[in-house]
Each structure stands twice: as structure tokens, then as C-alpha cells.
Amino acid sequence: MNGTPRPAAFLDRDGVLNFDDGYIGTRDRIRWMPGVAPAIRALNDANYFVFVVTNQSGVARGMFSEQDVRALHDWMRDELRRDGARIDDIRFCPHHQAGSVAAHAIACDCRKPKPGMLRALMATWPVRAQGSFVIGDKASDIAAAQAAGLPGFLFEGGDLADFIDRVLREMAR
């Protein structure tokens, strides 16, 4: 995509945007993390791209389909847009070596802790690496950030808007 390069916030989904209740493939199971819409609005207002990068091994395990994940992500984006918060792009990894769906039971470069999803977004959008960061709730998220040459911040729950505010202050230093 063309445009002026700017930094990006790469956000994990389960455990950051919503509670990680395990293998969430439908909107009826989403429980939003407190402060999600204000957090994303703050990133939008700070002129960050907002990307979601999420491992979804439930696809490889046959628990839901890639289309189910896409439909859920479309719904999530619509819900947040109603609250004035914009997610620019979402990438997910449907793979897991222990999966039961042959097409997805593979080792890949997109499953975190590998940086494939981050690198794909950085190649697609005019992302400026300087100032960009990853927020995740697991060590694999932070490892993916490091593998992509970005700082990673571990979110351990609570109000996401407060956490994002602290991260933006730290990144401004």
C-alpha cells in the first residue's frame, strides 16, 4: 500500500483485545477486555496503524473454520468501529503441527513466536519500524516482536486503555 510511513501497533487478540477463554471462534464467546475501544482510539489518534496478529490453532484442530475466524474478525471490527475505534488489518495463523485438519497441520512461518504475520503486515502497509511495537499476553508474542526487531510489551490484564497510554508514553521517550 502506498502512503506516508508511520509506526504500527501490533496487538494480539485473545488475552489483549478480549479475554482468552480458549479457542474462540464465534462472537457469542467474546468477552471484551476493559478499555479496548478507547485504547484503539488512542492509537488511531496518535497516528498509528493498528493491526491484530493472532494464532488461531482452533482451525487446525477442526474446532472452527478460517471463514468462522474471518466472520468473527469482521464483527469485532464493526463493533469497535461503532465506538470510533479503527483496526487497519488483521492477520491470523490457522496452523498447528498437532492439528487434525491436514491442510493446516503444518509448521509455518506465521505462527508466533515466528514473526511471519508481523513481517507480512510490514511488507503490505507503509509501516515505519521506528516507533512500532507489539502488545501480547504471552512470551510467544514478545518473541515474535523481538524476531521482527520490534519492542514487545507484555499485557497481563486490566484496562487496556491505561496500558496503551503507558506504552505510548514510553515509546515517545
CATH number of the domain bearing residue 55 = 3.40.50.1000
Alpha helices for 15-171 (secondary structure H): 36-45, 66-82, 116-124, 139-147, 160-171
- Say how many C-beta atoms besides its own lie within 10 A of residue 172's C-beta: 8
For the chain, the domain total comes to 1
CA–CA distance, 70 with 109 (Å, rounded to integer): 20
Question: Mean pLDDT per 10-residue run, the chain (173 residues)?
Answer: 90 98 92 98 98 94 94 97 98 92 91 97 97 98 98 98 97 90
Q: What's the pLDDT score for residue 117? A: 98
Residues 86 and 45 sit within 8 Å (Cβ to Cβ) = no
Q: 98 lies in a domain?
A: yes
Sign for the pseudo-dihedral over CA of 88, 40, 56, 106: positive
Predicted TM-score (pTM) above 0.75: yes
Q: 78 lies in a domain?
A: yes
Domain that holds residue 35: 8-171
Q: Is 12 noted as a catalytic residue in this protein?
A: yes
Instruction: Indicate the burial class of 108 (C-beta count within 10 angstroms; 0-12, 13-18, 19 or more).
Output: middle
Q: What's the pLDDT score for residue 166? A: 98
Name the amino acid, one letter, at 28.
Answer: D
Q: What's the pLDDT score for residue 98? A: 86
Annotated catalytic residue, options 12, 89, 137, 141: 12
Q: 43 lies in a domain?
A: yes
Q: Is 14 noted as a catalytic residue in this protein?
A: yes
Q: What's the pLDDT score for residue 1? A: 66
Q: What's the pLDDT score for residue 82? A: 97
